[in-house]
Chains A and B, each alone.
Chain A
Amino acid sequence: MTQIIEHVPAALRGPVRLMLAIKGAFVCAASLIMAATFFCVVILRYGFGADLFAYEEWLLIICFWLYFMASAIGTYENSHVSADLLSYLTTDERLRWMRAVLVCAIELAVSLAALYWAVLAIRDEVASYPYWQATIALKIPFFVPRLALIFGFGLMSFYSALRLYVLCKLRRVPESAAADAADSDIADMAARDE
């Protein structure tokens, strides 16, 4: 089915796909690292009587990046949690399109505001060098996880802008990639069970 990537300007398609692939690889790796770390912590504790020194400090940073990169993919796939009632209540394509444009424009404005706040936060963080906040054991500056805020909200703004562009260009609501993927996945599972 229709995905927004098919409707963005040709020059942008390659970079958008590449960014999605990089983010996809990163979030998969980060998720598995998260699970494997806790598994190792338990094995080390009971198998070897040891502990993984200050693992929380680097793991929480990886996870913070994971949240924001994954959330950016969620914005691209339009899979954030929302009350999608109005789109169920009306079948009028024009009304659905107008609602989608309004929602997208508001989300873009909020993402841009959050991006601005993230820039302010990082600016304050950098300005406080060399007395900036850092983790206790490994002395990792808080600047490192908080940079994810800029990238995360920046990408969310970019994808919201892209969706708004596609909505204005098509003058109808394209079906989301996430819904398509989930539908085909569920269909696969149902077929296997049949």
Chain B
Amino acid sequence: MLILSCLVLLCLLLVIGISVPMAFGAVLILIAVFGGHDVSGFLPAGHWKLNTVILLAIPLFILAGSVMERGKIAAPLVDLIQLLVGRMRGGLSAAAVVACAVFGSISGSAAATLTCIGSIMMPHLRRANYPEGTAAALIVAACPLGLLIPPSASQILYAWVTQQSVLKCFLSTVVPGFILVALLCVVNFLLVRKIPDLRLAERPKRFGRELGVRSWRAFPALLMPAFILGGIYGGVMTPTEAAGVAVIYAIPVGFFIYKGLNRRNFWQGIREASVTIGVVMVMVFMVLIVSRFLIFEDIPGLAKSLVFSISDNPVVILLMVNLVMILIGMVMDDISGLLLSAPLLLPIVTSVGMDPIHFAAVLGVNLGMANITPPTAPLLYLGARVTGAPVNRMMKPVLIMICFAWLPTLMITTFIPSVALWLPGVLFG
């Protein structure tokens, strides 16, 4: 009864617009009042949970994303991708999708991907007569690729919560990420195929030379994923150290090579990133305390019995698990959703034979989608601010992309285990 009241209160508070950490704080009050727990132990429990070096990768990736964003590190990448695919019909918007995937491989943050790629691509897309709502929706739908293409802050969190290998979790979302890129490009081509006055980019007279010039300009930016991923998979650095190195590498690149950084916007960027770090980590702190109580009350066991009382068919169970995650994603952001659903749902999926690494991919796709699924869709609202397109014009194309790109990717990832497990299997056996 107490747990049901907690869930109802949580949903109610989130829907009226209480911030996520405070909504979880209100749940803690309910637990304290009716659960008879010692309240002096609440916050130290959160401190114990948060007091680990691996979680520092999350603030460091937020910081790296902010420095890269202001350092204009994405601009040469976008130029290069535009040259390669920008000349076909719908190519410019497809370039935005590919740019989100490439930038995701260096930033580890969906918000940084959206801000960087959105602010660069949107003026180009407007000039080329792409419909504002569709173009903005496409960028919004593609930016969670930053969470699927490694490194990914949410996969680090999942690996930590479920005690899995971070490297395997990173790799599990790569193939789903590529499938999503392909499906988003197809949906994009279908959406823009009947727009009569699209302006297409012209092929440069000396394509080879232009390709060389743009590749050279993009080289320092392209070196970054090599550093980060090479360092992590080569066993040279932990993900946390790689994130720290990425921040320090991005500073001189942003100041002296791409010249996007100056003294003023550097400090402004660091301050904004720091505030985001505080907002995210205090949210993690509160969710972790609540999640500890849910585990203490054996809610994962109760949830498992409930699911198996409805059906013991693995397909039905996996569909139900996905439905629950979609519902969680509709009222929470990806990080709090992950912290709440991973310990709750992992026992259920493992009991029907799903590998925890496979579940990392399913959760990654699902919570990536959660970021753009209303009503709690932080990236959708941020996208409206970044691109200047009204939310109501973005809503229909975003829903189309969720239905025809995100949901099919989710189903493929859920029901074809090799999509998630092939790459970790190849590299780690």
Contact = CB atoms under 8 A, between A and B. Distances in A.
B244 A37 contact: yes
Interface stretch (A9-17, A85-93, A164-172): A85-93
Interface in B7-53: 13-22, 25-26, 28-29, 32, 39-44, 47, 50-53
Residue among B32, B51, B60 with max Cβ neighbours from chain A (10 Å): B51
B323 interface: no
A41 to B, nearest CB: 6
Interface stretch (B118-126, B164-172, B348-356): B118-126
Given A83-B376, A102-B16, A194 B241 contact: no
A34 interface: yes
A130 to B, nearest CB: 18
A113 B43 CA distance: 11
A193 B123 contact: yes
A31 interface: yes
A81 B29 contact: no
Interface string B350-388: 000000000000000000000000111010010001101
B386 A118 contact: no
Residue among A32, A35, A85, A142 with max Cβ neighbours from chain B (10 Å): A35
Contacts of B285: 67
Residue among B22, B39, B115 with max Cβ neighbours from chain A (10 Å): B22
B283 A81 contact: yes
A84 B381 contact: yes
B331 A83 contact: yes
A145 interface: yes
A35 B39 contact: no
Contacts of A107: 18-19, 22
Contacts of B375: 83, 85
A28 interface: yes
B278 A72 contact: yes
Nearest to A28: B270
Given A28-B271, A31-B270, A110-B25, A81 B60 contact: no
A117 B282 contact: no
A80 B14 contact: no
Interface in B259-283: 267-268, 270-283
B400 interface: no
A35 B243 CA distance: 8
Contacts, number: 219
B295 interface: no
A149 B43 contact: yes
B39 A120 contact: yes
A190 B241 contact: no
Nearest to B237: A42
A181 B275 CA distance: 13
A71 B282 contact: yes
A70 B277 contact: yes
Given A64-B47, A66-B274, A79 B376 contact: no
Contact of A34 (B13, B47, B59): B59
Interface in B57-77: 59-60, 63-64, 75
A73 interface: yes
Interface string A132-171: 0000000000100110010010000000000000000000
Contacts of A36: 244, 248
A10 B24 CA distance: 34
Nearest to B280: A81
Contact of A41 (B64, B241, B268, B283): B241
A27 B278 contact: yes
Interface of A: 24, 27-28, 30-32, 34-39, 41-42, 46, 56, 59-60, 63-64, 66-74, 77, 79-88, 99, 102-103, 106-107, 110-111, 113-114, 116-118, 120-121, 123-125, 142, 145-146, 149, 152, 178-179, 181-183, 185-186, 189-190, 193-194
11 contacts: A38-B56, A39-B244, A80-B279, A81-B336, A84-B381, A106-B13, A107-B19, A114-B28, A117-B42, A142-B44, A193-B123
Interface of B: 13-22, 25-26, 28-29, 32, 39-44, 47, 50-53, 56, 59-60, 63-64, 75, 115, 119-120, 122-123, 236-237, 240-241, 243-245, 247-248, 267-268, 270-283, 285, 331, 333, 336, 374-376, 378, 381, 385-386, 388, 391
